[in-house]
């Protein structure tokens, strides 16, 4: 979402004839687009801002701006502790950036706009300089779910959806530019609703675009996942058979305290339906360990859900309190060393499941969309299957953006290795 927003801001500035600098040292303006979802992300931004202050001392008149969720969430502390920051803009205020740059250049005071909007969808504005074979397209902004650990509803505001018509205009534009794959984005992507259309209607519409090979999306919420969407995955070959399906915790007691609005049984039922109905589906997830009040028994329940679903991959995090959220007020925090132990256990379990899932593909011929040179060798390409597995293989005559058939010979960690067979 932040990559998309950064390119949206670049698009707004390019429309005003600003140009990208070759390096940060030669830039007249530097904007950091920030994330507040975890403490670690904020720490990184603070360190980057200190480095930019050093640059600003050498480059007189340079403008430094903080955009996005941290701007929204921490404007007062930024103004107090980082007086060299010129502009602070929340996620609904990017349209005002050119105007604020002009005001700041005329030596006006620090400029701050963090008003949240119930309407702003950046309709009619498109990101600049997308790269690669996949184009991200934001379809909703904000979130109404209010999970108790999450700052997003406070930093990105209420949920609103773009119109299908406007999304289609952007999708057709990127396909005409040569993108093969589109990923639809939203904090809670499958609660999309617009003019009587639901998320499945949108997927059906986008998948009909000529020249588009694959449609992905992230992230859905289990509460809004229904049979219609599962069936659509099963029936429509353009809709990728990968579902990122955030679990967060596997105990009903913790799920309730997180305000996740689904039960363990509902989640498992949906995941098993996906495995049963969608051929070759891969299911990945997000997990938090050490949520306040999580006991050993709760954690064991989470491991049991992992065992039942055997995720293809998981993003695992230690809980970190976000000031301003409900969970930050819970008194029963889990000691750091217990969080660490649970995280290590979870990673170990997930490793075995990832390897188990990936080894099932050995001997299979899989369709791979070629993305780029592999990280380890320029004689090899890497690409992805529709189930979002990374596949590395020796180069032949194909080029980036082609679809090739690869016979899988080996699975290690998160990567599959194979040879081209067509
Ligand atoms: S669904 Fe929950 S975790 Fe996801 S953005 Fe909304 S509040 Fe945050």
Tell me the CATH number at 134. Answer: 3.30.750.210
Mean pLDDT score, 362-368: 97
For ligand 1, atom 4, the nearest C-alpha belongs to: 187
From 196, 222, 240, give the residue that closes a domain. Answer: 240
Q: Could you tell me if residue 288 is inside a domain? A: yes
- Whether 37 has a pLDDT exceeding 90, the answer reads no
Nearest Cα residue to 239 out of 193, 274, 266: 274
Nearest CA to ligand 1 atom 1: 145
- Residue list, ligand 1 pocket, CB within 6 Å: 143, 145-147, 150, 152-153, 187-188, 221
Cα 179 to Cα 133: distance, rounded to the nearest angstrom: 5
Pairing of strands 197-198, 160-161: unpaired
pLDDT at 384 over 90: yes
| Closest C-alpha residue for ligand 1 atom 8 | 150
Mean pLDDT of 128-133: 80
Please indicate, yes or no, whether residues 218 and 191 belong to a single structural domain of this protein: yes
State the sign of the Cα–Cα–Cα–Cα dihedral 288, 294, 296, 298.
Answer: negative
Domain final residue pick, 207, 240, 273: 240
The answer to whether residues 99 and 139 belong to one domain is no
Q: Residue 127 gets which letter from DSSP?
A: -
Which residue, 103, 57, 45, is CA-closest to 84? Answer: 57
Probe residue for ligand 1, chosen from 35, 152, 155 as the CB with the greatest number of ligand atoms within 8 Å: 152
Calculate what percentage of the chain has a pLDDT beyond 90.
Answer: 82
Alpha helices of 217-281 — where are they, by DSSP H? Answer: 227-235, 252-258, 264-277
pLDDT above 80: residue 306: yes
In a domain, 329, yes or no: yes
pLDDT band at 321 (very low <50, low <70, confident <90, very high): very high
User: How many whole angstroms separate alpha carbon 153 and alpha carbon 151?
Assistant: 6
Average pLDDT over all residues of the chain: 94
For the cut 90, the answer to whether the pLDDT of residue 356 exceeds it is yes
Q: From ligand 1's centre to the CA of 412, what distance in Å? A: 32
> Could you report the per-residue pLDDT of 233-267, keeping only the tens digit for each?
999 999 999 999 999 999 999 999 999 999 999 99
Domain count for the chain, please give it: 4
Does residue 10 fall inside a structural domain?
A: yes
Q: Is the pLDDT of residue 72 over 90?
A: no
Q: Which of 143, 223, 244, 286 to mutate to test the pocket of ligand 1 (most atoms within 8 A of CB)?
A: 143
Look up the CATH number of the domain holding residue 277: 3.30.750.200
Q: Which atom belonging to ligand 1 lies closest to the Cα atom of 153?
A: 7
Tell me how far the alpha carbon of residue 147 lies from the centroid of ligand 1, in angstroms: 6
Question: 255 with 355, same domain?
Answer: yes
Query: CA-to-CA distance for 129 and 134, rounded, in angstroms?
Result: 12
> Is position 281 within any domain?
yes
Q: Identify whether residues 277 and 381 lie together within a single domain.
A: no
**Residues 236 and 164 placed together within one structural domain of the fold:** yes
Q: Tell me, in angstroms, the distance from the centre of ligand 1 to residue 247's CA.
A: 12
Mean per-residue pLDDT, 1-28? 92
Atom of ligand 1 nearest to the CA of 150: 8
Residue 120: inside a domain: no
Domain span at 7: 2-113
CATH number for the domain spanning 14: value is 3.40.50.12160
Atom number of ligand 1 nearest to Cα 219: 4
Q: For 86, how many CA atoms within 13 A lie in the half-sphere containing its CB?
A: 23
How far away, in angstroms, is 151 Cα from ligand 1 center?
Answer: 8
At 346 the pLDDT is 98
The residue to mutate among 73, 144, 147, having the most atoms of ligand 1 within 8 angstroms of its beta carbon, is 147
Does residue 71 carry a pLDDT above 90?
A: no
As a whole number of angstroms, the distance between CA 263 and CA 367 comes to 35
Same domain, 216 and 294: no
Cis peptide before 357 (omega within 30 of 0): no
Contact 73, 89 (CB under 8 A): no
Q: What is the CATH number of the domain that holds 390?
A: 2.40.50.140
Residue 188 has pLDDT above 90, yes or no: yes
Residues 353 and 376 in one domain: no
At 127 the pLDDT is 85
- Confidence check: pLDDT of 367 > 80: yes
Q: What is the pLDDT of residue 326?
A: 97
Last residue of a domain, one of 342, 359, 376: 359
Cα of 24 to ligand 1 centre, how many Å? Answer: 33
Within 8 A by CB and 6+ apart from 126, the residues are 8, 11, 170, 173
Residues 291 and 307 grouped into a single domain: yes
- pTM here is 0.92
Compute the average pLDDT of residues 390-411: 96
CA distances from 258 to 149, 289, 316, 370 (A): 6, 12, 16, 39
The answer to whether residue 118 sits within a structural domain is no
318 pLDDT band, cuts 50/70/90, is: very high
Cα separation, 2 vs 65, whole angstroms:
15
Candidates 186, 263, 191, 265; CA nearest to 226 is 191
CA distances from 6 to 34, 166, 247, 280 (A): 10, 20, 28, 34
187 CA → ligand 1 middle, Å: 6
The predicted pLDDT at position 125 comes to 84
Answer yes or no: are the C-beta atoms of 290 and 345 closer than 8 Å.
Answer: no
Q: How confident is the model at residue 70 (pLDDT cuts 50, 70, 90)?
A: confident
Coil vs helix vs strand at 132: coil
Sequence-ordered list of residues with C-beta below 8 angstroms from that of 196, at least 6 positions apart, any chain: none
Q: How far apart are CA 9 and CA 235, in angstroms?
A: 37
246 and 354 fall within a common domain: yes
Beta carbons of 371 and 133 less than 8 angstroms apart: yes
CB 233 within 8 Å of CB 278:
yes
Average pLDDT, stretch 187-216?
97
Given this model, what pLDDT does residue 60 score? 83
Is 122 among the domain residues? no
Largest CA distance in the chain: 66
> For a substitution probing ligand 1, which of 38, 72, 153 has the most ligand atoms within 8 Å of its CB?
153
Asked if 200 and 262 sit in the same domain, the reply is: no
On whether residue 156 sits in a domain, the answer given is yes
Q: What is the number of other CB atoms lying within 10 angstroms of the CB of residue 80?
A: 9
The verdict on 36 and 62 lying in the same domain is yes
Other beta carbons within 10 Å of 47: 10
Q: Are residues 313 and 214 in the same domain?
A: no
């Amino acid at each position: 979402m932040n990559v998309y927003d950064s390119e949206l801001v670049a698009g707004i500035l390019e429309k005003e004839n600003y140009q990208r600098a070759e390096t940060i040292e030669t830039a007249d303006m530097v904007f950091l687009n920030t994330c507040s979802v975890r403490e670690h992300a904020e720490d990184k931004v603070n360190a980057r801002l200190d480095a930019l202050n050093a640059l600003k001392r050498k480059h007189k008149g340079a403008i430094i701006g903080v955009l996005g969720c941290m701007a929204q969430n921490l404007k007062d502390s930024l103004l107090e502790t980082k007086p060299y920051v010129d502009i602070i803009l929340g996620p609904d205020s990017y349209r005002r950036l050119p105007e604020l740059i002009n005001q700041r250049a005329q030596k006006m005071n620090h400029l701050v706009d963090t008003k949240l909007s119930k309407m702003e969808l950046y309709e009619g504005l498109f990101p600049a300089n997308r790269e690669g074979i996949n184009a991200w397209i934001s379809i909703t902004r904000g979130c109404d779910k209010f999970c108790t650990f999450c700052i997003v509803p406070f930093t990105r505001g209420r949920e609103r959806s773009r119109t299908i018509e406007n999304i289609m205009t952007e999708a057709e534009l990127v396909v005409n530019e040569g993108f093969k794959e589109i990923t639809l984005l939203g904090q809670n992507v499958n609660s999309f609703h617009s003019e009587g259309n639901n998320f499945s209607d949108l997927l059906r519409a986008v998948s009909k675009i000529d020249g588009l090979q694959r449609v992905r999306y992230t992230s859905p919420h289990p509460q809004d996942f229904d049979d219609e969407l599962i069936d659509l995955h099963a029936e429509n070959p353009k809709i990728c058979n990968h579902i990122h399906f955030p679990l967060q915790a596997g105990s009903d007691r913790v799920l309730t305290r997180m305000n996740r609005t689904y039960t363990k049984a509902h989640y498992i039922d949906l995941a098993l339906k996906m495995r049963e109905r969608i051929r070759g589906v891969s299911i990945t997830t997000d997990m938090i360990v050490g949520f306040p009040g999580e006991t050993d028994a709760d954690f064991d329940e989470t491991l049991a859900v992992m065992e039942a679903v055997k995720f293809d991959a998981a993003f695992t995090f230690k809980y970190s309190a976000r000031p301003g959220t409900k969970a930050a007020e819970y008194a029963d925090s889990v000691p750091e060393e217990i969080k660490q132990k649970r995280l290590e256990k979870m990673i170990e379990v997930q490793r075995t499941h990832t390897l188990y899932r990936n080894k099932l593909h050995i001997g299979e011929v899989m369709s791979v969309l070629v993305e780029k040179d592999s990280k380890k060798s320029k004689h090899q390409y890497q690409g992805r299957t529709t189930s979002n597995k990374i596949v590395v293989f020796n180069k032949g005559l194909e080029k980036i953006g082609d679809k090739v058939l690869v016979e899988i010979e080996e699975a290690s960690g998160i990567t599959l290795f194979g040879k081209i067979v067509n």
